[in-house]
A and B are shown apart, each in its own frame.
Chain A
Amino acid sequence: AQTVTQSQPEMSVQEAETVTLSCTYDTSENNYYLFWYKQPPSRQMILVIRQEAYKQQNATENRFSVNFQKAAKSFSLKISDSQLGDTAMYFCAFMKATWYAGNNRKLIWGLGTSLAVNP
């Protein structure tokens, strides 16, 4: 069975600074996806960034980037130039890659890291 671990329940960062959120996972699968979802207070979860395990290049989306270390089963999220709007709960999630139609593609979640960006 797959598991996802986020060891930092809470973090804080000053506006404009850089912060890194940690995530490790355990799986015997070779093909999978990893995600970071953001949940602002009282709002729905939205996808921040995703990484395909078969890609060696780390994913980047504007100020958000990941450090994907497949051998170490580590998937950290770096937020550069932090903004007040980045204040949210951040969830790391795993999805087994399957290629048949109708596959369910369920997400396996970490416990989350609550990030506060301070002015």
Chain B
Amino acid sequence: EPEVTQTPSHQVTQMGQEVILRCVPISNHLYFYWYRQILGQKVEFLVSFYNNEISEKSEIFDDQFSVERPDGSNFTLKIRSTKLEDSAMYFCASREAGATEEQYFGPGTRLTVT
């Protein structure tokens, strides 16, 4: 059964460094999402992406964040200058076209900013 994959599973970086989190959505899906979960807090929506552009972003998704679908298979989240408060689990999800509501999730990348 097709799955969403994410790499790396754990990333440790120093404050101020750039990180790129990678996701490979399910191949025939057209809608892509990033969510994050800070330890002990709710999962939060960051951004949705459709037709090669952002369709919605949350207040969290400021200028330090960007998303890209560089090659038709990968979907990346870049944080330009990481802060301590960016430490969280980042989940990628994808959804097929049409009226379906189900989002399929990757296993997450744990980002630790020191």
Contacts and interface: CB of A to CB of B under 8 A. Distances in A.
A102 B50 contact: yes
Contacts of B55: 102-104
A59 interface: no
A106 B48 contact: yes
A107 B114 CA distance: 29
Given A44-B107, A47-B103, A109-B44, 8 more contacts: A47-B102, A102-B50, A104-B48, A104-B55, A105-B103, A106-B56, A107-B45, A112-B42
A-B pairs, top 3 by smallest CB distance, nearest first, are A104-B48, A109-B43, A104-B56
| Range of interface residues on B (Cβ < 8 Å) | 20 to 34
Given A44-B3, A45-B91, A91-B43, A106 B33 contact: yes
Interface of A: 4, 33, 35, 37, 42-47, 50, 91, 95, 99, 102-112
A106 B103 CA distance: 9
Contact of B105 (A45, A50, A111): A45
